[in-house]
Amino acid sequence: MIPGEYKFELSVMPIVALVVFAFSLIFETNYAFAEPNFGAAGDWGCNSNTEDTVDNIRSHASPERVFALGDFSYTSTPTCWLDRIDSIKSRTRITIGNHEDDSSEGFSSYMSAFGLSSTYYAFTYGNVRVIVMDSDRNSYSKGSAQYNFVVSQLQAASQNSAIKWIIVYLHKQMYTSPNTCSSSSCSNTGSEATNLRNIYHSQFGKYGVDVVLYGHVHNYQRTYPIKYDSGSPSSPIVTSSASQDYFDPYGQIFALVGTGGVNIHGLSGKSSFVKYQQDDRFGALDINIENNGYKLAGRYYTNDGVKRDVFTITKTGPASYSYGPSLSLSGQ
What pLDDT is stored for residue 62 in this prediction? 84
Report the pLDDT averaged over residues 146-160.
98
Report the pLDDT averaged over residues 151-156.
98
- Contact indicator for 55, 66 with CB cutoff of 8 Å: no
Residues 317, 164: Cα–Cα separation, whole Å? 10
Report the pLDDT averaged over residues 6-29.
37
Domain assignment of residue 4, yes or no: no
Bridge partners of 168, per DSSP, are 131, 212
Residue ranges in the chain assigned as alpha helix (H): 3-27, 48-59, 79-84, 107-113, 145-158, 191-206
What pLDDT is stored for residue 34 in this prediction? 66
Question: For residue 170, what are the domain limits?
Answer: 36-329
Report the pLDDT averaged over residues 29-37.
61
Report the pLDDT averaged over residues 143-165.
98
Domain assignment of residue 140, yes or no: yes
Quick check: helix, strand or coil at residue 330?
Answer: coil
Q: What is the residue-averaged pLDDT of the chain?
A: 88
The share of the chain scoring above pLDDT 90, in percent, equals 83
What pLDDT is stored for residue 22 in this prediction? 41
Burial (Cβ within 10 Å: 0-12, 13-18, ≥19) of residue 45: buried
Domain assignment of residue 317, yes or no: yes
Domain assignment of residue 25, yes or no: no
Domain assignment of residue 19, yes or no: no
Domain assignment of residue 16, yes or no: no
CATH of the domain at 263: 3.60.21.10
Domain assignment of residue 214, yes or no: yes
The bridge status of strand 65-68 relative to strand 92-94 is: parallel
**Dihedral angle computed from the Cα positions of residues 216, 264, 74 and 93, in that order, rounded to the nearest 10 degrees:** -50
Please count the structural domains in the chain.
1
- Contact indicator for 202, 236 with CB cutoff of 8 Å: no
State pTM to two decimals.
0.86
Domain assignment of residue 130, yes or no: yes
What pLDDT is stored for residue 24 in this prediction? 36
What pLDDT is stored for residue 109 in this prediction? 98
